[in-house]
Structure 1
Amino acid sequence: MILGLLKEQGAEQRVALLPEIVSKLVQAKVEVYVEKGAGTKAFQTDEAYRNAGAKIFSRDELLKKADLFVQIGEPSIEIIQSLSDKQVWLSQYNPLWNTDLVKSFLANNITSFSMDSIPRTTRAQAMDVLSSMATVAGYKAVLQAANELPNFFPMFMTAAGTIRPATVLILGAGVAGLQSIAIARKLGAQVEAFDVRAAVKEEVNSLGAKFVEVEGAIDDSAAGGYAVEQTEEFKKKQQEVINDHAAKADVVICTAQIPGRKAPLLIPTEAVERMRPGSVIIDLAASSGGNCELTKNSETVIYNEVKIIGQSEYPSLMPIDASKMFGKNVFNFLQLLIAEDGSLNLNFEDDIVKGTCITHSGEIYNERVKSVVES
């Protein structure tokens, strides 16, 4: 099999595979072709890829030669149309949102896999790019908040008096939220965290943060760690509690997202109006609508002297380690597709392979994507 590593387009600085992963693929008897300059923005030279055993080609040459293409971002329609039905595409193209891309893969009879559709099972944890990239996002979000805030994060006792520690409110205690808690605590802030799932309280507390609870919730202990639908009365009370805590916070970091759906609104305009001048909101859910009503994706909005930063691309801003983590996840998945002789083996009896496959032989394989596209 020939694997083609493509250069990312636009502002993306990561690369899907670092030379160290390319070397492992070569050892697995896979030929690796790399597009010229693919790793430049992630500080990886073409020479490093050659030393790892890869061959360097132009994009046009690569698209003609490779059997399997690997990239982080979504492909252009032009690339999809240039592929043959014997070639396979692998990236993170968010099929629940980008249904037009799914339809384009179908129309051109292309087999495609999307890494953000990896099943959330114990066996698939080593391939979970969403968790890996959420770790990066949670880390970078706190650092930017500390840089933007006109206050110190930790408490200082000086000859000029005592400086109180900053108060940080984290909305959502998934991977990004828990990472944000850990970094904010290391920087000396007082941290509170809210999540609709009561099951995460122990994790939040173990990191040194206070879990924000809302009384009257329907018991979700039997829901396997997932949220359950609450009453309208509870939702109203929940919003009031969030607004009250946001008003007292110096920093609010929003991480709550639902795959394939608009991000839940947690910080309405009236909550922002109650926040102190100089406060900072970092919204990691910006690309799916944002948890803050005033968020604009990839923009900084200043409203009532509160800075609202819509940023969903933090992993791209940390390209070396983010590429390392992403590439390791991809390699772990590729091991399910590589036969002992290095050939491509699409084993759809494997639940991870089948679950990650979006299109194959003119059909949608992923049931969730199928229900969205055909609805």
Structure 2
Amino acid sequence: MRIAVLAEQAAGERRVAATPETVKKLIALGATVALERGAGTGASIDDAAYAAMGATVSDRAGAIADADILLGVAPPVPDSLAGAKRGAWLVAGLNPFADRARIAGYAVLGVEALAMEWMPRITRAQSMDILSSQANLAGYKAVLDAASEYGRAFPMMMTAAGTISAARVFVMGVGVAGLQAIATARRLGAQVSATDVRSATKEQILSLGAKPIFVEKVAGIEGEGAGGYAGEMSAEYQAAQAELVSGHIAKQDIVITTALIPGRPAPRLITDTQVASMRPGSVIVDLAVEQGGNVEGSVAGEVVQRHGVNIVGHRNVPSRLAADASALFARNLYNFLSAYWDKDAGRPVLPPDDEVTQAIVLTRDGQVVHPRLTD
């Protein structure tokens, strides 16, 4: 069983799909590991650290040749996998809805593409969930990015010259990223509030010491989607939320938006009019900018100013913490491979009737097989 660790080729991608720690563990399972030269450079890991754990280091063609499993972070271009043997697994974040032609390209190559971001949110798969591990870091980094753009202090400070008020931070969307943003802003001393379409998150917000901002008296709207993700709101709920949020946003110094719906454009949470209601020098961080954005006027890859408000739209936020993001991502992949490792076969085996198998396998035997991509 030969496992290849690919160097990332996407612009701005600094993460790596294996670390020396996970290479050692994979070898202990019985695999051999080949690393594409320089794969860990963006995450501050040199080739020698991998070699010390038993990996061989070569160019891309050498790493791919005869590999049974290809590990990556971002989806590779199919042409970059030339030389991969038919039936090899491609295990990475593949963003299937963004480019279906790319998924079809994997099928033509004959590789079995496994989309790790489609890992089901079930208890036994939590340690394999790349979305959660990366979103946790994104929520943390969003607060630091906001603090960098904000021209004032976060905590209340009482000095001989007078008192500085605490920054008011509003988090919209209380998934993994939102919860971490709340916790981080609280640690920095901000006055934090948060909202979500899922009423079950109210207790989570309170447990972190933040104030929940929720629409009341709109019956039957819970916002729960499949797998614990947010669903789409009704028109009635959207109108009620817009009215509530508009008044609240105008009083905030920093707003962090994190709302995503799988397979759909990010919901619009903040309009240009609401941006204009904030005082000059305020900051908005749009973590959904790469999927269309939660904020009107946000631009992917840029920090723009509208009505005196700085709107932060950094791409690939976890990659801005490449060392830690790589460590967590690599453990997710190792946890997945080790959970399905068959000692007799000397390799991982995915049972066809397994819930994880059915959720993540996109291509097999030269065909796109996932129902979400074939319906």
Per the normalisation by structure 2, the TM-score is: 0.94
- Indicate how the Cα distance of structure 1 residues 167 and 78 shifts in structure 2: closer, same or farther if over 3 A, else same: same
Structure-1 separation of matches of 2:208 and 2:18: 32
- 1:214-293 aligned at under 5 Å gives the runs 214-220=215-221, 227=230, 230-293=233-296
Structure-2 separation of matches of 1:223 and 1:304: 34
What do the CA deviations read for 1:77-127 (whole angstroms, capped 9, x no partner)?
312454332322111011122212112122333211011011111111110
Counterpart check, 1:306 vs 2:301: no
Q: Do the aligned residues in 2 keep the contact of 1:315 with 1:322 (CA within 8 Å)? A: yes
The residue number in structure 1 matching 2:370 is 366
Tell which deviates more after alignment, 74-83 or 315-324.
74-83
Structure-2 separation of matches of 1:20 and 1:226: 31
- 1:1-375 aligned at under 5 Å gives the runs 1-9=1-9, 10-220=11-221, 227=230, 230-341=233-344, 342-371=346-375
User: Offset of 1:229 from its aligned partner?
Assistant: 5.6
User: Offset of 1:6 from its aligned partner?
Assistant: 0.7
Q: What CA RMSD, in Å, does the superposition of the two structures yield over aligned residues?
A: 1.8
Structure-1 separation of matches of 2:12 and 2:233: 40
Q: Do the aligned residues in 2 keep the contact of 1:96 with 1:259 (CA within 8 Å)? A: no
Structure-2 separation of matches of 1:312 and 1:241: 29
- Indicate how the Cα distance of structure 1 residues 228 and 63 shifts in structure 2: closer, same or farther if over 3 A, else same: closer
SS of alignment partner, residue 347 of structure 2: coil
Q: State the number of aligned residues.
A: 371
- Indicate how the Cα distance of structure 1 residues 297 and 215 shifts in structure 2: closer, same or farther if over 3 A, else same: same
What do the CA deviations read for 1:186-243 (whole angstroms, capped 9, x no partner)?
1111111010111100000110111101123233569586656654233212112112
Per the normalisation by structure 1, the TM-score is: 0.94
Letter in 1 for 2:355: D
Tell which deviates more after alignment, 337-346 or 135-144.
337-346
Structure-2 separation of matches of 1:43 and 1:326: 15
Structure-2 separation of matches of 1:255 and 1:184: 15
Structure 2: where are the runs of 5+ without partners? none
Letter in 2 for 1:367: P
SS of alignment partner, residue 35 of structure 2: strand
User: Offset of 1:258 from its aligned partner?
Assistant: 0.9
Q: Do the aligned residues in 2 keep the contact of 1:3 with 1:70 (CA within 8 Å)? A: yes
SS of alignment partner, residue 188 of structure 1: coil
Structure-2 separation of matches of 1:2 and 1:90: 13
Letter in 1 for 2:278: M
Letter in 2 for 1:352: V
Q: Do the aligned residues in 2 keep the contact of 1:220 with 1:227 (CA within 8 Å)? A: no
Q: Do the aligned residues in 2 keep the contact of 1:355 with 1:365 (CA within 8 Å)? A: no
Structure-2 separation of matches of 1:352 and 1:323: 22
Letter in 1 for 2:262: P
Q: Do the aligned residues in 2 keep the contact of 1:217 with 1:230 (CA within 8 Å)? A: no
- Indicate how the Cα distance of structure 1 residues 231 and 95 shifts in structure 2: closer, same or farther if over 3 A, else same: closer
SS of alignment partner, residue 341 of structure 2: coil
User: Offset of 1:354 from its aligned partner?
Assistant: 2.8
Letter in 2 for 1:290: G
SS of alignment partner, residue 308 of structure 1: strand
